[in-house]
Structure 1
Amino acid sequence: MPKNSKAKFEKLEKKASRFNEKEINIPDILPAIAMRSNVVVFPNTVMPFYVGREKSLYALEESMENYDQLLFVVNQKDPSIEEPTEKDLFEVGTVVRVMQLGKLPDGTFKVLVEGLVRAKRSKKSLDKKYFKFNIEILKKRYQKTKKLIALMRIVRDEMQKYIQFSRKLPTEALMFLEDMEDPDVFADLAASISPGTLEEKQSLLETLHPYERLEKILTLITKETELLEIEHQLDQKVKQRIEKSQKEYFLREKLRVIREELGGEEDAEIKELEKRIEEGDYPEFVKEKARFELNRLEKMSPYSPEANVIRNYLDWILNLPWNEKSKDNLNINHAKELLEKDHYGLEEPKQRILEFLAMRNLSKTMKAPIICFVGPPGVGKTSLGKSISKAMNRQFMRMSLGGLRDEAEIRGHRRTYVGALPGRIMQLIRKAKVKNPVILLDEIDKMGISFQGDPASALLEVLDPEQNKEFVDLYIELPFDLSEVLFITTANTLYNIPEALKDRMEIIEIPSYTNVEKFYIARDYIVPRALDELKTEKNKILFREKAIERIISEYTIEPGVRELERKIRAIIRKAALEIVNGKNRVYITEKRVKEFLGAPRIKEEGILEKPTIGVATGLAWTPYGGTTLFIESILFPGKGSLIITGQLGEVMKESAKIALSLTKRICGEKFSQVFEKSDIHIHVPEGAVPKDGPSAGVTIVTSLVSAIKKVPIKNNIAMTGEITLRGRVLPVGGIKEKVLAAYRKGIRKIILPKLNEYDIEKVPKEVLDEMDFVFVEDIDEVLKEALVSENK
């Protein structure tokens, strides 16, 4: 700041106020002020700025005293530089005339200047005390064309939009542009109020032609107007939302006060739910979700449909046993006694259950296994699951999967659907009221697939011990721990269970019962249980052992005991009728069995009356146990065609074709004319029943060779096995069921593949003691054993 500046600048202030209209002559050298604000002074505009730096004050003093109040103002490239040099300044600036000068309390001066013309400075300042440059006036000649006039109108219209949306500029700023016809002055006035950065404004100052300047201004204004318009729309939306929320808040408060005055039921319901949430034994994430839904319920009308959806949802999550568990009874002896009491035989399943209890005794954190009982109907799969739950002191829940086609039955429905409910797994958990029940998934092999999804795939998460710790039902939307649930599944066959699902389960096979086992089950379990249901003395109806044996042998042939139980109950009903009519006691003897049940329905065809040509007895496996098949072959005049009947599947048809080729090789050239001049018909009786499988090859070959060679087949022998074109006998499955089927039919000799020799270990001892097994590797061994003439 110069010395004695106070008196000196008071004179300068008075001098600046004496403005005259005489023509201004701009010298070649002018003092300069470096502008460090983002404001650029344009020609033909009036602009205020502040002067406070010492260099700038010296330049201002020099201008007032020696240069007729003329100054050269130029902007700094970087406004943050406190002491700029010539390199820090733009080259193009504006020559201005000081119109007013006023001192502020902080010692700085407010200067009001009028922009005169553009000018370009020299590279070097002529004075070290302040900036002083040689200047070159910049002017551009132009013509006022129609194109230029049209551009002025466009800029004027766009400027009107910009001022309308901008909150920084008053509407009066547009008045200066309305009456301006000079393009150069119009462009400078528009540039002074247009938006932009320091670099963009400096570019406008350096653009001499008004048309090019207006094009740049239009670009800047259009871009800023679009942004301001979007900002305005957002402001309006926010304002509307705020007004709406304030209105809703006011109405809710008013409604709350009205409810308090009336003491409404809705308020009591909300308080009751809130109390249950806070005082209940729930995980924190359940409480958090319940609070959120309760807050929504509180804000909406109690009569809206959404309110009912939320009430139902809260009812579900607050009634699920998130932490409730039943205490396991891990007493091995107790479990063993209970299982023996409820079930005869079934040693492997019983042993597996006892092993599980033993492991639970040693490790309380062990995950529950997924057990799958596989066996024919009526062998006790479901009742075994009930016994497990009773032995462990757990709740027992059963869910039938037969015919299930909708994935939502497992995972539940989303709450967005009308009538949505959780899946049946969560429904059973809620009904059990504990998180560790025994859940029996019955008939898991009977599930289907439809457009509603694949329930078998949905069960993967439920039955996977690594995933079911956080099972998420689509309705509940919260992870529930299923790892402590003991899942037991049942199936008649494994073939229909997807491999991925089968991999997650421990398979325990429950075989068919022998007649001996059926006898003990009937005598010790079925008869006492059925008599217990009668409100009479137990010794009113007495079963003789021979009567039970006759029921088993002549009235049931199933692998399980369900039909046996039905027959016994039918007899008890008829005996009960006699007691009601006055009889004191009814004895069920062999004779009375026929009287009560009628003529025997099982007509044994297992053993033919005598050896027969072309009829071989085969053994087959079905989902309902083993069975016997008679395969018949006959020849009649023809052209060598093969006829196959009996509703055989593709596998058995292929076996028949292989058997025919192998038979031609076995019979040799001697019988070639027979094959050429005869049609061969292979038939499996009971044509209404579909049959398929790879175990009939040996039986078909034996039947064909017998028919062609006219050699009878032994009537007391059955066989099973697949063959190759070379005559090798291949192993097959279901040996135990097939042996039991032959045993029930009265057949005591069976031909089996050599590789199935170890499978007979699973056959009950009482059956093994009465059976004669012949193990073969080649078809010649089969024919030697089966054909009458081959053994002579």
Structure 2
Amino acid sequence: MIIGLYFWNLLRNQQSNKTAVDRESKKEMEKLRKLRSIQLTQPLAEKTRPQSMKDIIGQKEGLKALKAALCGPNPQHVLIYGPPGVGKTAAARVVLEQAKQHASSPFLQDAKFVEIDATTARFDERGIADPLIGSVHDPIYQGAGALGVAGVPQPKQGAVTKAHGGVLFIDEIGELHPVQMNKLLKVLEDRKVFLESSYYHEEDTNIPRYIHDIFQNGLPADFRLVGATTRTPDEIPPAIRSRCMEIYFKPLLPDEIAEIAQSAIAKLGMPESPEAVRVVVNYASNGREAVNMIQLAAGLAITEGRDRLRAEDIEWVVNSSQISPRPQKKVPKEQKIGYINGLAVHGPNIGTLLEIEVTSMSAEKPGAGKLTITGAVDEEEMGGGARTLRRKSMARSSVENVCTVLRQIGLNPFHYDIHLNFPGGVPIDGPSAGIAIACAITSSIRRVPVHPRLAMTGEVSIHGRVKPVGGVVAKVEAALQAGVEKVLIPRDNWQEMFAGLQGIEVIPVDTVEEVICHAFPEWAESISERGESEGNWIDPSIEPAVQPILPFMQARSTSE
């Protein structure tokens, strides 16, 4: 009798618990239905998101390279460099859809595009959770479920397995934790994920067959990696770079920003507003910023009962959001003594015009002149971890090389107090301004201006040779946008594509003498008339004792 009452109470409690769970489940389901029935309007950023190749503006060459990497019979892993808001994620998604249409492509019609953000892809050092690679839920941890009660470890798939047969897109891959980066490299090589657990035993018959298979043969992870980053290539680990094709997306030009802004206005159902677009172009540096500015300005216009954007609306957005003007450097209209246009790169594949200005005054004592450099980095550190090297900045070293070369051609900078300045508020480093510094110092000392529509880039060796530098394509593009008509570059950086450029002349040079001939053509003509051999003032093969250095631009004619 007592035993019967015990079991009857036990069954009744179980039934009441089940009833309570069912009632709670119905309440939660009703809450979910109500939540799903509420929908806001689609954000403008989502409306303007590119859905096809033609919707991606300003990245013709980048898209061409991305298609070549992914749409062939042997797709490759890809790293995309570029500033934010220029279409890196959208391009990867669209190109995968195009690849599915190619008969030779290994991507099937149901190939997945799995996206993960490296900044939020955190993992547990004990291996409990890893959203990128995958993990094992051991029975000891809470929430193991029925398999945990039986002492069975449960493998959990990561993004690399979910992307099997498709594309794994990792945004901001440069922020990925080094441990995860090393694990990812192993997965790229094996195309499998091997998991481990101290609770797994091959002879355990309680473990399901599929879990045995996962631990013994690994989870499939045959995908193509597309990583996007706003960092520069030297900040990405060489191990991942060597396994990927590197593609560069360029910053958007003003006309391309205007096209995106006009498209955003049209998708809002508003009439065209050229004056508003012009203000957007002056402040937005990428497509995302342009769309956000249009959306906020449109909200202001609608709340005020207007159906058309005005320039004042965009200006209000600029002031309320404290948006800085878009840096658009243009060449000066007038010639200046001691002023020249250099070229530099900042960020991934972003070129810019670099102002260099010099003033010079005769020193109190010949040969005791002072050299002051402002706007350049003083020191830089190299390496990391247990060993760090510190050296004088390459920009300052470049100035010293220039002074040595100028002395060889008869212009001694140490007879003058020279102040070299890089205006702009951003510290400058790197040797690529060498030939520009040489021309600026020469212009200041000899009081002869350089043409304002001339720009140049190139490192100077102590023998007067012009050495190759990086980012020349981006620098030439920046020069073209700034209104430069002629660009001097190292001959080793010459590419045939430069010969067909419209609106700008790209000239390769080998020596500082050639640079000065282009920067000061009147002097070059006078040298030729006075008998100098093609303006070649420096011959490293001849010792100074055999060929004494004549004063700069004062070589005597043989007829005198």
TM range (shorter): 0.5 to 0.7
The C-alpha deviation readout for 1:652-696, integer Å capped at 9, x for no partner, is 222121111112223x1xx54x614x3333222244x34322311
3-state SS of paired residue (1:612): coil
- How much does 1:627 deviate? 1.4
Structure 1 segment 565-714 matched on structure 2, within 5 A:
565-567=291-293, 569=294, 572-583=295-306, 585-588=307-310, 597=318, 601-602=325-326, 605-624=329-348, 625-636=350-361, 637=363, 639-648=368-377, 649=380, 650-666=393-409, 668=410, 671-672=411-412, 675-676=414-415, 678-687=416-425, 689-714=426-451
2:511 to 778, 786, 792: 778
The 1:653/1:773 distance shift into structure 2, 3 A limit, reads: same
1:739 to 456, 460, 476: 476
Match in the other structure for 1:399: 116
2:455 to 697, 718, 721: 718
How far apart, in 2, do the equivalents of 1:425 and 1:745 lie?
54
The C-alpha deviation readout for 1:539-589, integer Å capped at 9, x for no partner, is xx223446535532x324x4x43333333x2xx433333333333x3154x
**Residue type at the aligned position of 1:494:** P
Q: Does 1:491 align with 2:229?
A: yes
**Residue type at the aligned position of 1:646:** G
Match in the other structure for 1:471: 193
Q: Does 1:428 align with 2:156?
A: no
3-state SS of paired residue (2:513): helix
How far apart, in 2, do the equivalents of 1:496 and 1:698 lie?
27
Structure 1 segment 148-159 matched on structure 2, within 5 A:
none
**Residue type at the aligned position of 2:82:** G
Give the conservation status (yes or no) of the 8 Å contact 2:432–2:458: yes
The C-alpha deviation readout for 1:459-495, integer Å capped at 9, x for no partner, is 211333xx12x22245698354444323211133221
- How much does 1:496 deviate? 1.6
- How much does 1:752 deviate? 1.9
**Residue type at the aligned position of 2:452:** N
- How much does 1:777 deviate? 2.0
Give the conservation status (yes or no) of the 8 Å contact 1:403–1:448: no
3-state SS of paired residue (2:252): coil
Match in the other structure for 2:30: none
How far apart, in 1, do the equivalents of 2:12 and 2:459 lie?
83
**Residue type at the aligned position of 2:76:** P
3-state SS of paired residue (1:769): coil
Give the conservation status (yes or no) of the 8 Å contact 1:413–1:420: no
Give the conservation status (yes or no) of the 8 Å contact 2:401–2:461: yes
Task: Normalising by structure 1, report the TM-score.
Answer: 0.46
Match in the other structure for 2:89: 382
- How much does 1:420 deviate? 12
How far apart, in 1, do the equivalents of 2:96 and 2:328 lie?
41
Structure 2 runs not aligned, ≥5 long: 1-6, 15-49, 101-109, 145-152, 198-210, 381-392, 526-560
How far apart, in 1, do the equivalents of 2:227 and 2:60 lie?
18
**Residue type at the aligned position of 1:601:** P
- How much does 1:705 deviate? 1.5
Match in the other structure for 1:461: 186
Structure 1 segment 121-132 matched on structure 2, within 5 A:
none
How far apart, in 2, do the equivalents of 1:729 and 1:611 lie?
25
Task: Normalising by structure 2, report the TM-score.
Answer: 0.63
How far apart, in 1, do the equivalents of 2:369 and 2:421 lie?
16
The C-alpha deviation readout for 1:490-519, integer Å capped at 9, x for no partner, is 133221222221111122222333334444
* Higher Cα Rg, which structure: 1
How far apart, in 1, do the equivalents of 2:397 and 2:143 lie?
50
How far apart, in 2, do the equivalents of 1:684 and 1:772 lie?
25
3-state SS of paired residue (1:601): coil
3-state SS of paired residue (1:744): helix
Structure 1 segment 141-152 matched on structure 2, within 5 A:
none
The 1:562/1:577 distance shift into structure 2, 3 A limit, reads: closer
Instruction: Report the structure, 1 or 2, having the larger helix content.
Output: 1
The 1:403/1:790 distance shift into structure 2, 3 A limit, reads: farther
**Residue type at the aligned position of 1:756:** N
Give the conservation status (yes or no) of the 8 Å contact 2:66–2:247: no
Match in the other structure for 2:529: none
What is the percent sequence identity of the aligned residues? 26
Match in the other structure for 1:440: 169
The 1:426/1:342 distance shift into structure 2, 3 A limit, reads: farther
The 1:696/1:447 distance shift into structure 2, 3 A limit, reads: farther
How far apart, in 1, do the equivalents of 2:68 and 2:166 lie?
19
3-state SS of paired residue (1:707): helix
How far apart, in 1, do the equivalents of 2:442 and 2:494 lie?
26
> What is the Cα-based RMSD across aligned positions, in Å?
4.0
Match in the other structure for 1:342: 55
Give the conservation status (yes or no) of the 8 Å contact 1:462–1:482: no
Give the conservation status (yes or no) of the 8 Å contact 1:512–1:737: no
Give the conservation status (yes or no) of the 8 Å contact 2:439–2:516: yes
How far apart, in 2, do the equivalents of 1:418 and 1:621 lie?
51
How far apart, in 1, do the equivalents of 2:142 and 2:424 lie?
48
How far apart, in 2, do the equivalents of 1:425 and 1:381 lie?
29
How far apart, in 2, do the equivalents of 1:403 and 1:790 lie?
61
- How much does 1:619 deviate? 0.7
Match in the other structure for 2:79: 372
The 1:406/1:690 distance shift into structure 2, 3 A limit, reads: farther
How far apart, in 1, do the equivalents of 2:59 and 2:196 lie?
39
**Residue type at the aligned position of 2:193:** F
Give the conservation status (yes or no) of the 8 Å contact 1:632–1:682: yes
The C-alpha deviation readout for 1:121-173, integer Å capped at 9, x for no partner, is xxxxxxxxxxxxxxxxxxxxxxxxxxxxxxxxxxxxxxxxxxxxxxxxxxxxx
How far apart, in 2, do the equivalents of 1:448 and 1:721 lie?
36
- How much does 1:381 deviate? 0.9
**Residue type at the aligned position of 2:250:** P
**Residue type at the aligned position of 1:586:** R
Give the conservation status (yes or no) of the 8 Å contact 2:371–2:418: yes
Match in the other structure for 1:561: 287
How far apart, in 2, do the equivalents of 1:770 and 1:736 lie?
15
Give the conservation status (yes or no) of the 8 Å contact 1:342–1:387: no
**Residue type at the aligned position of 2:113:** F
Give the conservation status (yes or no) of the 8 Å contact 2:69–2:78: no
3-state SS of paired residue (1:586): coil
Give the conservation status (yes or no) of the 8 Å contact 2:62–2:247: yes
Give the conservation status (yes or no) of the 8 Å contact 2:71–2:95: no
The 1:389/1:351 distance shift into structure 2, 3 A limit, reads: same
The 1:605/1:375 distance shift into structure 2, 3 A limit, reads: closer
How far apart, in 2, do the equivalents of 1:384 and 1:490 lie?
11
Give the conservation status (yes or no) of the 8 Å contact 2:69–2:245: no
